Amino acid sequence: MTKKHFNALAAMFKRERPGENWDANKRVMWNALAQGVADECWAFNMRFDRARFIEACGGLFDMDRRAA
């Protein structure tokens, strides 16, 4: 896979990222999918920057935050 492929995947994740007001389960699943895809991309290219990819996806949800 090339940088072009990785960028396209990150753009798709960013478009489909759940809003902050969505159900917590959707955010948990989105986090898991983004991390899983990052792991698989790294398997294709050991120079793949996992942190940069996650940031390009919009970053992971902080699941430790508590609703007021």
Its pTM stands at 0.82
Do 22 and 61 form a contact (C-beta atoms < 8 A)? no
Q: Which residues of the chain have pLDDT under 70?
A: 63-68
pLDDT at res. 64: 63
Q: Where exactly are the structural domains of the chain? A: 3-56
